[in-house]
Copies of this chain bind each other. A is one copy, B any other.
Amino acid sequence: MRVGKRSIKFESKINVISSFSIVAKKERDGNFGLSFDRCLSNDLWGEKSYEKAECKIMRETIMGAIKKAKILKEDIDYLLAGDLLNEITASSLAARCFPCGFLGLYNACSTFGEAVILGSLLLESKNASTIAACTSSHFSSAERQYRFPLELGNQRTPTSQWTVTGSGCVLLSCLDSKIIIPNPSMQKSYGVKVTEATIGRVVDMGVVDASNMGAAMAPAAADTLITHFQDMETKPTDYDLVLTGDLGKHGKKLLEILMKDEGYQLPEDTYNDCGAMYYKEKQHTIQGGSGAGCSSSAFCGYFLKKMFRGEINKILLVPTGALLSKDTPLQKESIPSIAHAVCFETFEMQ
């Protein structure tokens, strides 16, 4: 059901029937630690290039989610996917291995939100039974594509973030969940469903520094959050957690200020950012994680598991994206940004 101009309340039960995440060693050593499903042996993972490795990460992440749900490849109706490689080739090459329909998406690091929303729409409209939504990024392929060759050893700026090497995939289905309860000591078992969403619009406040994506994206996140709260008639504390994608530490602070200016407090125990949380201080990532695989791997690896255990019941996930290419800052364009909001809620299983 449409609410306001850009928000949706899903009326069918859109179940998360499975999730999977794969990351590299640096990510596994970070704050989400051992919650990821699988860890690469090294950044190339047996492939001849970082780009091929990223494609393998995405392919294996989708396969992992399918196996975990105890279904077959053929049970997936559509794959909605995107990544940061030029022409989203990690997704396109991965999609070869799946016999389902493919919808390639690109909204930079907010693509995971876009994929979950459009997948939920396909389910809600009864045009699909089960869909896969997946995004990925790879530090080494992103560095050489967007910035400088790694071999150059460039110094990083104080506002820079570290592209997460990783991928996260959810399978959504309007069929009943067959998911396995992760903790046998629990009294109750929980399912997770997608309940609400707000599709973002492009906001560009004139930031031109490609190493300060937190500042570029914070206004887009504020715009989507405010639209969502207004449309749904909610406030930040109505959610157990409001979780932006990859604003990083600096961008997170900016969002808090922007929201305060608009009359919305984002309390410390209610609001956080996947990028800001991702790495430990000693890992020297400066402002934290970023990349299309940042929010998807953190959400699928860490937060969804907490939801299935009933430890968090309502998360508003807001993946954020900076819509630049390597060329646009060189051609003196500022950085258009976007954020999509998706609400996940637990329910007690029979």
* Interface positions of A (Cβ within 8 A of B): 1-2, 5-6, 8, 48-49, 51-52, 77-78, 82, 84-89, 92-93, 95-96, 98-108, 111, 114, 118, 121-122, 124-128, 199-202, 204, 323-328, 331, 333, 336, 338
For the complex of A and B, the 3 pairs showing the least CB-CB separation, nearest first, are A92-B323, A87-B325, A101-B199
- In the bound assembly, the distance between CA atoms of A128 and B7 in angstroms comes to 10
By a CB distance below 8 angstroms, the chain B residues around A124 are 125
By a CB distance below 8 angstroms, the chain B residues around A89 are 323-325, 327-328, 333
- In the bound assembly, the distance between CA atoms of A101 and B52 in angstroms comes to 33
Inter-subunit contact B105/A105 (CB<8 Å): yes
By a CB distance below 8 angstroms, the chain B residues around A325 are 85-87, 89
A147 to chain B, nearest CB (A): 14
Closest to A146 in B: B87
9 residue pairs from A and B, CB less than 8 Å apart: A82-B106, A89-B333, A93-B323, A102-B201, A103-B199, A104-B114, A106-B106, A121-B125, A125-B125
- In the bound assembly, the distance between CA atoms of A300 and B336 in angstroms comes to 28
Q: Among B2, B51, B105, B122, point to the contact of A327 (Cβ < 8 A).
A: B51
Instruction: Report if A336-B126 is in contact (Cβ < 8 Å); known contacts: A325-B86, A327-B51.
Output: no
By a CB distance below 8 angstroms, the chain B residues around A95 are 201-202, 323, 336
Inter-subunit contact A107/B100 (CB<8 Å): no
A166 to chain B, nearest CB (A): 20
Q: Among B1, B8, B86, B331, point to the contact of A87 (Cβ < 8 A).
A: B86
Inter-subunit contact A202/B96 (CB<8 Å): yes
